[in-house]
Structure 1
């Protein structure tokens, strides 16, 4: 039996929080935009549904991230939820590879806003950024969904306990 760790509000360290968050499984996404005509993107698990009327998602981006300056004034973005087996693509966009090199991986297209959409993503949400809020170390982008593209039976790429996990489309 594993030992349960309990932290109180006054005793929560950044490491304890990170360790706790490792147990919160999250879909792996590549968030993209265009900055002065150049494709820009990063890997994120901090994506969440806000509302279905109007369809709204949020994305969190650390202000210390190398891509932050490229996203801070963006008016649109696309959230590309990765499919089963796209671990390598996640690693490229989550690392320090130059932007051009990142987008040399995968097939990219656009929907309504022009933000890069991954052709074989499990689902892509093409969005207009409607609000930004700074909280602690991150900016939260609230994004109204203008178009959606889905790939049937793509499965899902999840991040849990600091590693990738694959979910089949027909898993029960």
Structure 2
């Protein structure tokens, strides 16, 4: 039955789900923005498409919707401070970007130079569901590196899990 699960119960349950930490960026006519997100996943590989969820109350929401493009940068354990900066520890966007090295992609978006992988996307759909927009993007460009361990979010903490798994290469 709808309405049987409280917000607190749902949030506490979702805290038990491990998720990769990403910095999502945009750059275009509406301006430059960026935020930290754990709600990101693949949608399909034909065409390559992913989704990311963004709080609709964010002051940056309109930037992302108007620019119609975004870049998902998957972070490593070394990016814990950067994740906090883009999560709101630093309100000034220029200061957020000054905290790391960036590469300008063909689209104009900025990719984190040492991200495990960066997915540059063209926004194809934005759907408002409750408090969040689901941004669906077709992947136009991918940058990746062969080393590094993902920064994860679990139990309301940043963690990283050492792994022996290698890269599939490209």
TM over 0.5: yes
Matched residue SS, 1:72: helix
Aligned to 2:77: 84
**Correspondence for 2:8:** 15
- Superposed CA deviations along residues 42-83 of structure 1, whole A, max 9, x for unmatched, are 000011100011100001111112321222222111000001
**Matches for 1:1-172 after TM superposition, within 5 Å:** 9-36=2-29, 38-95=31-88, 96-170=90-164
Q: CA deviation at 1:20?
A: 0.5
Q: Is the 8 A contact 1:156 1:169 kept in 2?
A: no
The CA deviation string for residues 24-55 of structure 1, in whole angstroms up to 9 with x for no partner, is: 11000000001437431000001110001110
Q: Could you tell me how far apart the structure 1 residues matched to 2:18 and 2:140 are?
A: 27
Is this contact kept in 2: 1:84–1:168, CA < 8 A?
Answer: no
Instruction: Measure the CA separation in 1 of the matches of 2:79 and 2:164.
Output: 18
Structure 2 Cα separation of the partners of residues 116 and 37 of structure 1:
15
Distance of 1:9 and 1:19 partners within structure 2:
18
Alignment partner of 2:146: what SS?
coil
TM-score, with length taken from structure 2: 0.90
- Kindly tell me: are residues 130 and 10 of structure 1, through their superposed partners in 2, closer, same or farther at Cα, counting changes over 3 Å? closer
Q: Is the 8 A contact 1:132 1:139 kept in 2?
A: yes
The 8 Å contact of residues 39 and 116 in structure 1, kept in 2 or not, is answered as no
| Worse overlay, 138-147 or 33-42 | 33-42
Bigger radius of gyration: 1
Q: Distance in 1 between matches of 2:162 and 2:145?
A: 13
Q: TM-score, normalization: structure 1?
A: 0.89
RMSD: 1.7
**CA gap 1:132/1:157 in 2 versus in 1, 3 angstroms:** same
By how many angstroms is 1:166 displaced?
A: 1.1
Any conservation in 2 of the 1:42–1:93 contact (CA below 8 Å)? yes
